[in-house]
Amino acid sequence: MSWPSRHPTPPATTTYTVTARREQAERWEAAAGEVSLPVCVWLGETADAYLRELVRAGRAAPLSWYQGSFRVLITDTTARPEVARETEVRGPIGDHFGIFRGNGRGVGEPGCFCYSLVHRPTRRIIATLPLRKSCMALAAELAPLRVDWRETDPEKVLGEAPDRVKAQEVIRLFGKLT
């Protein structure tokens, strides 16, 4: 039997290296000095305050994205009758969403200016937009809505969701703006 430690385990931390121009560094040092904080702590608190303001202003905080593979439903419109099949694609993955270059007919070539936001649990395309960052912004707007993003049945995802209408309006708005 071991005795409990008097010192709790410190929380896990991540270290970032930030590159700044000399003028920026001097401004950061002055601002941090005004509140008697080390620059690294001041930068972290400033970033957190910025994210809180985004949420307070009604803007969605960005999702964390990583590169990976996921499956998407593709429809071959050249065949009669049309044939739908699942295919594995690579691209950014954030929460319940994935983005790939291409559209509902297939994977696009580099430079095609056609990116699709996919709901990964249903493997369905939510929207096809000209920029990957537009897809990321749309996902960030959709993620906090009261919708069951874990649902695997496409008919039930929006179904009776409290924010069903809002989700549809956001998708429609992104389609018009981009």
Residues 172 and 113 in one domain: yes
pLDDT at 7: 57
Residue 13 makes CB contacts below 8 A (sequence gap 6+) with none
DSSP, res 165: H
Given 36, 56, 76, which residue is the final one in a domain?
A: 56
For the chain, what is the domain count?
A: 2
pLDDT at 118: 95
Residue 43 makes CB contacts below 8 A (sequence gap 6+) with 18, 28, 32
pLDDT at 8: 58
| Ranges in the chain, pLDDT < 50 | 1
Residue 134 makes CB contacts below 8 A (sequence gap 6+) with 115, 174, 178
- Gyration radius from the chain CA atoms: 22
Task: With CA atoms as reference, report the closest residue to 116 among 101, 97, 106, 105.
Answer: 101
| Domain span including residue 137 | 66-177
pLDDT at 78: 73
pLDDT at 3: 52
Residues 75 and 97 in one domain: yes
- The answer to whether the beta carbons of residues 21 and 27 sit under 8 Å apart is no
Domain assignment present for residue 11? The answer is no
- The answer to whether the beta carbons of residues 175 and 127 sit under 8 Å apart is yes
Residues 146 and 75 in one domain: yes
pLDDT at 10: 62
- Which residues partner with 86 through β-bridges? 73
pLDDT at 51: 76
Instruction: State if pTM tops 0.85.
Output: no
In 57-163, alpha helices (H): 132-142, 154-158
pLDDT at 44: 87
Residues 94 and 131 in one domain: yes
